[in-house]
Amino acid sequence: MMIKVYQKINAMRQHFGWDKTDTKAFMVDALLEEAHELKEAITLSEDEFKDELADVLMYAFSICMDEGYDIDSLIETKIDKVMQREY
């Protein structure tokens, strides 16, 4: 499933030329903006919330793809770190 999503994100970015212009710094700033919009969308409709969540995920996935990060490994490593914590 993720491969299909990656392909669609890449196709969209190529279509608009974003794959050539987006820098990591730009995408992090955009991710922060979308995260703020996601927070605001909590009070809106479920569809608007999901739209903002999708924006956050697309930027996060785009950063991972551009940087060559394996998302499964990235998340599994973080989960392992969190599991070592005592709360």
What pLDDT does 87 receive?
84
pTM higher than 0.85, yes or no?
yes
What pLDDT does 36 receive?
98
Domains of the chain: 2-83 (1.10.287.1080)
What pLDDT does 3 receive?
84
19: closest CA among 7, 34, 36? 7
How confident is the chain (87 residues) per 10-residue block, as mean pLDDT? 88 96 97 98 97 98 95 96 94
DSSP letter string, 17-69: THHHH--HHHHHHHHHHHHHHHHHHTTS-HHHHHHHHHHHHHHHHHHHHHHT-
